[in-house]
Amino acid sequence: MHYRSLFGQKQRLYLDHAAASPLRSSVARVIRRAELAYPGNPSSLHHEGVIAGKELASARASVAKMFEVQASEVIFTSGGTESDSLAILGTVRRNIATLQAEGKKPHSITTTIEHPAVLEAFAVLEREGVTVTYLGVDTQGRINQKELRESLKEETVLVSIGYVNSEIGTVQDIRECAKTIRHFRKQLGRSILGVQFPIFHTDAAQATRLLSVRVPELGVDMLSCNGSKIGGPRGVGMLYVKKGIQISPLLVGGGQEHSLRSGTENLPAIMGFETALREVRAEKESEYASMLSLRALALALLQEQIPEARINGSAHHFLPSTLSISLPKFASELLVIELDARGIAVSAGSACSGVKENGSHVLSALYGKDDKDSWGTIRVSFGKNTTPRDVRYFVRALKDVMEKYSGFLYT
């Protein structure tokens, strides 16, 4: 069974938008125009450089306005991973010496289900002598605010909690986390170099397309996002850093991006990123409703045709475009390959972690490392052009795979 044989169309079905969304045609036009129209380096003093610099400043101001922050608080990066690393490593490293001089061991907090870009950054800090607390989650992927509150210490420099989990789509209550941290700061009543700690960072890469990323509403001090998740270009992202917060750069050189990210700015990609942000902002309400409808259809069809399927994540606090589905007795790799043969692109989890020998760290946090049902998990993520017909074909194809291998599976 193939997509074209079922619907008479010779095309593939892309259901992996959480990994990377296809480039919007409007963004492609902006990038192409910028590549031809602005050849200068934004840091150069000649006419071409000045014009490029003005376009960069305009894009930065526009992005800042959409997040409701100051333009000076926007740092352009190569993507979500660099933004996370800069926020986490840069913040803690900047303040290690001050705490150690006071006889304190730097401490940070994150969760067990963060994106690998976050977890690997904290692993680096641990090797550098920083103590890290990893908050657990319940079976729906939500942290406990009481545990967060009890984990905060006088020497806590940074808290990093992802807005939306990239594998299961669970949405954390970032506003409540920010409230908990602000209350702790007030009780602590101290600062380092004029900044109150702990600093609160969130990775909003998966949230930017459908959820509010208004910084004043969220109450965060730092926020990361990624162009490739919103139909923007790959290789560009952003880090919001609240005014007054001092972080150490990861890249040094010419001092671009307020000396926090040296290297010639990729102006065409930044302009494309700004265009994608404007468009998803305008579409957010209608797209959210559309994704809810597709999710409801997928759940109804799965319940009807594959009742043994387990849906991972929260039943109430979820990103409607993402579904994590576990099938008992199957292997994720088999499901991904067989669906691919039927013209459907899905993933086994976060594209940055891939399929690992020990399985998903996210599902292990939810159900324990011995949960065999987690072995057969795929992530399906809808996009702007996904239709109800696509969802129906996906479920039929998944059922076809299960029927093909019935009797040949592990127990």
Q: How far apart (Å, rounded) are the C-alpha atoms in residues 43 and 259?
A: 13
pLDDT beyond 60 at 407: no
pLDDT at residue number 386:
97
pLDDT confidence tier of residue 355, bands split at 50, 70 and 90: very low
User: Which range is least confidently modeled, 79-83, 110-114, 405-409?
Assistant: 405-409
Overall pTM > 0.95: no
Asked if 124 and 89 count as a contact pair (C-beta separation under 8 A), the reply is yes
25-278 belongs to CATH 3.40.50.300: no
Asked if 321 and 18 count as a contact pair (C-beta separation under 8 A), the reply is yes
pLDDT at residue number 352:
56
pLDDT at residue number 379:
97
Q: How far apart (Å, rounded) are the C-alpha atoms in residues 140 and 317?
A: 9
CA 177, 180, 182, 184 dihedral sign is negative
Q: Which CATH class is domain 3-23+284-404?
A: alpha beta
Q: Which H or E element spans position 6? A: helix 3-7
Nearest Cα to 360, choosing from 320, 398, 326? 326
Q: How far apart (Å, rounded) are the C-alpha atoms in residues 290 and 387?
A: 9
- Across the range 21-34, mean pLDDT stands at 97
DSSP string of 79-105, one letter each residue: SHHHHHHHHHHHHHHHHHHHHHHTT--
Provide the annotated active-site residues.
Answer: 352
Q: How far apart (Å, rounded) are the C-alpha atoms in residues 271 and 275?
A: 6
- Across the range 302-314, mean pLDDT stands at 96
Bridge partner residues of 311 (DSSP): 325
- C-alpha distances in Å from residue 65, one per residue of 60, 202, 213, 259, 278: 9, 19, 11, 22, 10
Bridge partner residues of 381 (DSSP): 16, 322
Nearest Cα to 283, choosing from 21, 15, 64? 21
pLDDT at residue number 134:
98
Nearest Cα to 56, choosing from 250, 263, 269, 328? 269
- Bond prior to 198 in cis (omega within 30° of 0): yes
- Across the range 230-258, mean pLDDT stands at 93
Give the residue extent of every domain in the chain.
Answer: 3-23+284-404, 25-278
- Across the range 118-124, mean pLDDT stands at 98
Pairing of β 195-196 and β 191-192: antiparallel
pLDDT at residue number 1:
44
pLDDT beyond 60 at 23: yes
pLDDT confidence tier of residue 393, bands split at 50, 70 and 90: very high
